[in-house]
Amino acid sequence: MTKKVRVRFAPSPTGGLHLGGVRTVLYNYLFAKHHGGDFVLRIEDTDQTRYVAGAEQYIYDCLSWCGLEPDESPLKGGPHAPYRQSERKAMYYQYAKQLVDAGYAYYAFDTPEELEAMRANLKTEANPTPQYDGKIRMQMRNSLALGMEEAQHLIDAGTPYVVRIKMPQNEQVVFTDMIRGEVHFDTNLVDDKVLLKADGMPTYHLAVVVDDYLMQITHAFRGEEWLPSAPVHILLWQYLGWGKAMPQWAHLPLILKPDGHGKLSKRDGERLGFPVFAMNWKDPKTDEETQGFRERGFLPEAFINILAMLGWNDGTEQEIFSKEELIAKFDIGRVHKGGAKFDYEKAKWYNHQYIQRKTDAELLPLVKPYIAAHGITTDDAYLEKVITLIKERCTLLPDFWEQGHFFFTTPEIKEPAAITDKWNEQKKAFFESWADGLDGITNWTHEAIETSFNEAMAAHGLKKGDVLLPLRFMLVGGKYGPGVFQIAEMVGKYEARKRIVNAISSI
């Protein structure tokens, strides 16, 4: 029987979630659902110095906004609880001890000053950041250099220590990545990473291996930046005797700056004016706020579609995929090795497509807060009609206000010159008499308003080219918006007349 697929997203809650992080969530989720498996959220918070208030809650909120709910998590619980590593602290020591007893790891007592001195002494131009590794470990204060007996005395005397892996020398570590194929590492280039810290907390390297094992993870997808850690993890799996149970890995490609040069950073978003985080994130230490896709007015369905396509396609030209379709078609083997360029214009194109595909009734609750933010309470039936008229012009949710504010408030005419430049007595007379006659339109529909407009226009010897644009400015405040007669119908006879009369008297 094949094992049930189990994947995990294992973030360290240290700040906002970059879109690359959400894409990692998404690929994990799609893979799990495609195979009828479980998607686990594990919070990797063993580095207490990096604790950031609110960061864990932010992760839950992002996942729920995206509709990528985990099957097991610190909030939801599950058969392998707890899912927060700090709460699993007591579990890790025995594995560190097992590794030391088997000779694969050792106790190290070096103080921060001693480590600093080692780096300063060994630093050369060719080796600017000397590592604690096989070449120098016997010159340091650890149980290999001092002997186990002395090490035990030091431990008994309460000397702080860490546990380090003893990286083998002159070995090749090889594994097959689901995206990259065979990857080789030279163990001489890898340092003796700390596995257990002086405070008894595991480091990421030990915790990730122990928890992937205990939680029966079958596939682990993570960012490319974790590839250099893979040899340490592979050796730990072997040294702990779990080699056969090791998950299959896929290291996901980077998301690149729009010009393709380097990893897309939060700063790039600020520089180029687009969000890089899933949702707004306010750093509690600096109060610095980073914009998110949600607050920019992206729909979560569009957001996950955009992310899915950053590094993957189904082999056809299809670009729009619902979550269900993504689940059905996602194939980790089709994820590209190379980085994926982020294109904000294309991201907006997706959102525009998703807005068009939603019904007006579906858009109503999404648009309402953007209108309410301007102090307007509107009746749902009216707002739904507005949505029908303007949705084609809207790319992001705040556009519904930008493109539709004049349905709710009397606009200010932004460029009066557009009317005044070609204004004359003939036009004035036409608008005055037509405005006066509006009262007489008993059936206030856009067809009836247009007919009355055309008749008055002909009677005054004017053409559409003379009066249609001024009418738009009077009703809308600018040169945009849906059909003017539809706008007049919507705002009502009284308001339409008021806007025209006020505009005339201001010219």
Q: Which of 170, 189, 167 is nearest to 236 (CA)?
A: 167
Beta bridge partners of 39: 7
**Which residue stretch of 9-17, 193-201, 329-337, 489-497 sits at the interface with ligand GLU (rule: CB under 6 A)?**
9-17
Residues 12-31 that bind ligand GLU (CB under 6 A): 12
For position 209 contacting ligand GLU by CB under 6 A, the verdict is no
- Residue closer to ligand GLU by CB (options 110, 212) is 212
Query: Taking CB positions, which residue lies at the least distance from ligand GLU?
Result: 222
By CB under 6 A, the residues from 216 to 255 that bind ligand GLU are 222, 226
Min dist. Cβ of residue 39 to ligand GLU (A):
13
Beta strand spans in 109-191 (E): 162-165, 172-177, 181-186
Structure tokens, 286: 């600096």
Number of residues forming the site for ligand GLU (CB under 6 A)? 8
208 or 306: CB nearest ligand GLU: 208
Write the burial class of residue 368 (CB in 10 Å: 0-12 exposed, 13-18 middle, 19+ buried).
middle
Nearer to ligand GLU, 40 or 347 (CB): 40
E-assigned strands of 211-280? 219-223, 248-252, 255-256
How far does the chain reach from its first CA to its final CA, in angstroms? 82
| Span interacting with ligand GLU, options 8-16, 29-37, 359-367, 447-455, rule CB under 6 A | 8-16
CB of 226 to ligand GLU, least distance (A): 5
CA angle centred on 35, ends 29 and 40, rounded to 5°: 40
Stretch that binds ligand GLU, among 4-12, 127-135, 342-350, 475-483 (CB under 6 A): 4-12
Q: Is 371 in the site for ligand GLU (CB under 6 A)?
A: no
Is 266 in the active site?
yes
Please, which residue, 193 or 352, has the CB nearer to ligand GLU? 193
Nearest CA to 384 out of 310, 285, 490 is that of: 490
Report residue 237 as tokens.
């799996």
Q: Closest distance between ligand GLU and the C-beta of residue 212, in Å?
A: 8
Name the residue nearer to ligand GLU (CB basis): 59 or 488: 59
Residues 38-97 that bind ligand GLU (CB under 6 A): 44
Q: Which stretch binds ligand GLU (CB under 6 A): 10-18, 73-81, 152-160, 433-441?
A: 10-18
- How far apart, in Å, are the Cα atoms of 278 and each of 21, 90, 295? 9, 34, 9
- Which residue from 457, 32, 455 is spatially nearest to 220, judged by alpha carbons? 32
Set 89, 266, 358, 385: catalytic member: 266
Task: State the Cα–Cα distance between residues 111 and 117, nearest whole angstrom.
Answer: 10
Residue bearing tokens 């186990």: 148
CB 301 within 8 A of CB 322: yes
Write down the least CB distance from residue 50 to ligand GLU, Å.
10
Closer to ligand GLU by CB, 71 or 450: give it: 71
What count of Cα atoms within 13 Å lies in the side-chain half-sphere of residue 135?
A: 12
Kindly write out the interface string for residues 265-284 of this chain, putting x where it contacts ligand GLU by CB under 6 A and - elsewhere.
Answer: --------------------
Residue from 11, 247, 275, 297 binding ligand GLU (CB under 6 A): 11
Angstrom CA distances, 459 to 388, 437, 455, stand at: 34, 13, 6
Residue numbers at the binding site for ligand GLU (CB under 6 A): 10-12, 44, 204, 208, 222, 226
Give the residue numbers marked as catalytic: 266
